[in-house]
Structure 1
């Protein structure tokens, strides 16, 4: 018998329904420890509810090696943050990293004009919720501001022409890139230029985000953040990056550097070691019910330390650069002859239960490909009014409560294997049948990743496996 699961904190938001019974409270749900599956996954220094001084200390140690000499006492500095960092384990660890960066830079440089920028994509009021939730306005002495893709822009001359950043990102003498390294959007970046992707997303105007998503395919789009980051405009303001690092076990540390290429290489290796085996293990799942029950939109919701987006695309090894990716824009790209057949959503997901999730990101492909049950009339009304997904409720049914939703899901999915995405790191909230299945498959998956797949992933990116896997 495994332990009872402990779901992550759900932040109250106007973009989500009222918080109700959690999926972890359902009879029979268990917490399958990640280390029971893969003992060699990088271990955590912090889990939700732990001592935040661990994050502060790790951030300070990482910042000691960074050159900040360009920042003078009278300068202005924008500390750049992104919304998704605040969705990791309740957001407290990311908030603590940001606070520590501010304190450390002030102490080291004598500069006290450090302004926090909280960037978002489509949920334009979310930054204000974040600032209030984590009391950031008080900590930064009123020097906080939201950044939205629809805000006034600033032209950035690049090697491929003029692209546009958000003016509020760049309205200081210097910028600090404070981000997070959990595995999201693998279909887009494939662990290439992952460290600088926000320069074409969180920090970019809507038009430039569209260039990234629509004008280029999922592989060639990696070029966009690169040309923006390398532009003279950005380089004359850039100081260093600081990243909150994760594995499925939890927060593994903090990395900081003036060299983003070096950070990118380290993020790549951490992703392979941390998520490679869990992603391949998800490929083995041929039938399951997915339950979404956490902060944020579906694709980025965490379960067992890994996002739901990794399960929706688990039929393909997206670390493998020989594989044609499935992406948000999957239907826009013509597949090459002989490319593997793939649906935009993993067909192993036989039913989807939405207990708690947020609006604001296109997700119609879920309801049109998976039998979907929404829990509660309040949630159904909210989803029905979402301008990003105006037809979503045409393809779903509504259940009065979570128990009713699950009973219906069992009937239509014809499986009792349940994978819950409840924001949890360190353990996967799941049904006993899925836990037993995954435990049986894990040893062979571990061998295959170590001996076959990881060497291939490294060689594809120009690295010697013998050196990188030492």
Structure 2
């Protein structure tokens, strides 16, 4: 056995330590190996990227094909168009596929409509300057003729009258005649949205003022907060500007295709089906891990580091079925954090404790810029290097993170200490490896052993339940990923 899948490269960012300080990756620890995701979940679809030659033109071709069936007649040569993007797309498979889709949308719209005033508005969460870094990194500033900007939730707002009252979008997201919703199907924070209206979510998040975003996170909590995004999108103000949507369709092993539609709710059904079928299997499989040490090793904030296409925040709640809408609040969201306080368990019994399978966490490489102290409070955490510890101590969103963690001189020292406190040699690395998962040999054997029964359970028991809860046709949805359903299924 050996490690076959490369971790995502460290990135230069004001939110992370200097990449030169990342001396050793979790995948380089002793007794590590890789497991091919298709060996765990055989019905994962073939992907267009990564491909044999890492040819990004496959994404361009898929985007052009998806846009062939989209009506753009409402866009005139003298109009202005805002392509609305979200920062999370740039963390998928290195970020290049999302950037390529955005460039291609711009080129196709310009060619088909004659419109020259096409701008990129890239939304972000609490790392206010992050999308500016991505715009420069992927040359989007040049491709959009210096009309590409990052928009942050603290920017000037614009009131939007909705069915539930006045909510606030970002003025620069809507300062055009038309908007194009350019997003992705990555499941991301299923602990928040519970795979309900996932495709609509950015209207209450990436394109919204912080007061409205906070309604999503804090005031209403998971599931109920999905009404916020839907209310904004359904508003007269947004509908009069909305042209169409174009999505990078992502599965745990890479980019499946690109999908586009003038009907966002039709696209949302396809996003929901993909998320339940493929990510649901991966999530359920990770939930079957009995014990492990989690190694964080990816250029993103703590909750957003990836393994097998699943983020660490979801793994922290994988001890319940996050897709089952009959389940109570997940172990981790900003909303449920309030139930914990200083206690070792939630205030109300309906909220179960954080995934007990995570015996320890080695924080080898992860960014600041997102409230992460919760994870260190509830999972024994070892941070590698004083430089990284100091970075978190200086982050106003993580002032108590290091109060609940210890510092190790290097990765080897950290993992040795983790072995002592965790009493297990099973390791899972959240390093963004694509197509496979980097784990210890002991955990690889465990996953390969339990995977067949997990796949059967999801197919026979869970998928029918998940789709029924969301009012979707299971037989139609199971076509997703087939050759006959390449673009619009």
Task: Please report the TM-score for the alignment, with normalisation by the length of structure 1.
Answer: 0.97
Task: Tell me if structure 1 keeps the 8 A contact 2:337–2:374.
Answer: no
User: Once the 2 structures are TM-superposed, how far is the Cα of residue 43 of structure 1 from its aligned partner?
Assistant: 2.2
Task: Tell me if structure 1 keeps the 8 A contact 2:360–2:379.
Answer: yes
From 342, 345, 352, the counterpart of 1:342 = 352
Query: In structure 2, how many angstroms separate the alpha carbons of the residues matched to 1:374 and 1:442?
Result: 31
Equivalent residue number for residue 159 of structure 1: 163
From 335, 351, 354, the counterpart of 1:329 = 335
State the secondary structure of the residue aligned to 1:90: coil
Q: Which moved more, 1:159-168 or 1:331-340?
A: 331-340
Query: In structure 1, how many angstroms separate the alpha carbons of the residues matched to 2:27 and 2:411?
Result: 11
* Structure 2: segments with no counterpart, 5+ residues: 480-489
* Structure 1: segments with no counterpart, 5+ residues: none
Equivalent residue number for residue 421 of structure 1: 430
User: Once the 2 structures are TM-superposed, how far is the Cα of residue 464 of structure 1 from its aligned partner?
Assistant: 3.9
Query: In structure 1, how many angstroms separate the alpha carbons of the residues matched to 2:381 and 2:366?
Result: 13
Matches within 5 A, 1:10-21: 10-19=10-19, 20=22, 21=24
Query: In structure 2, how many angstroms separate the alpha carbons of the residues matched to 1:79 and 1:467?
Result: 30
From 14, 30, 49, the counterpart of 1:46 = 49
State the secondary structure of the residue aligned to 2:362: strand
Is 1:22 the counterpart of 2:25? The answer is: yes
Query: In structure 2, how many angstroms separate the alpha carbons of the residues matched to 1:440 and 1:51?
Result: 34
Query: In structure 1, how many angstroms separate the alpha carbons of the residues matched to 2:162 and 2:428?
Result: 44
How many residue pairs are counted as aligned between the two chains? 469
Is 1:357 the counterpart of 2:366? The answer is: yes
User: Once the 2 structures are TM-superposed, how far is the Cα of residue 466 of structure 1 from its aligned partner?
Assistant: 4.2
From 400, 420, 433, the counterpart of 1:411 = 420
Task: Tell me if structure 2 keeps the 8 A contact 1:41–1:273.
Answer: no
Is 1:71 the counterpart of 2:71? The answer is: no
Query: In structure 1, how many angstroms separate the alpha carbons of the residues matched to 2:471 and 2:85?
Result: 31
Task: Tell me if structure 2 keeps the 8 A contact 1:2–1:32.
Answer: no
From 180, 201, 225, the counterpart of 1:176 = 180
1:233-279 Cα distance to aligned partner (Å, 9 max, x none): 11111111111111111111111111111111001111122111111
Query: In structure 2, how many angstroms separate the alpha carbons of the residues matched to 1:257 and 1:466?
Result: 21
User: Once the 2 structures are TM-superposed, how far is the Cα of residue 27 of structure 1 from its aligned partner?
Assistant: 2.5
Query: In structure 2, how many angstroms separate the alpha carbons of the residues matched to 1:338 and 1:379?
Result: 35
Query: In structure 1, how many angstroms separate the alpha carbons of the residues matched to 2:118 and 2:10?
Result: 29
Q: What's the Cα RMSD here? A: 1.8
Is 1:290 the counterpart of 2:299? The answer is: no
From 434, 441, 449, the counterpart of 2:443 = 434
From 138, 142, 164, the counterpart of 2:142 = 138
Is 1:455 the counterpart of 2:464? The answer is: yes
Task: Tell me if structure 2 keeps the 8 A contact 1:183–1:307.
Answer: no
User: Once the 2 structures are TM-superposed, how far is the Cα of residue 54 of structure 1 from its aligned partner?
Assistant: 0.3
1:80-121 Cα distance to aligned partner (Å, 9 max, x none): 111111111211111000000000100000001100111111
From 207, 212, 216, the counterpart of 2:216 = 212
Q: Aligned in 2, Cα 1:464/1:102: closer, same or farther, shift over 3 Å?
A: closer
From 305, 310, 313, the counterpart of 2:317 = 313
Equivalent residue number for residue 263 of structure 1: 267
Query: In structure 2, how many angstroms separate the alpha carbons of the residues matched to 1:469 and 1:113?
Result: 40
Q: Which moved more, 1:210-219 or 1:166-175?
A: 210-219
User: Once the 2 structures are TM-superposed, how far is the Cα of residue 341 of structure 1 from its aligned partner?
Assistant: 4.9
Runs (4+) of structure 1 exceeding 4 A deviation are 333-341
Query: In structure 2, how many angstroms separate the alpha carbons of the residues matched to 1:242 and 1:301?
Result: 25
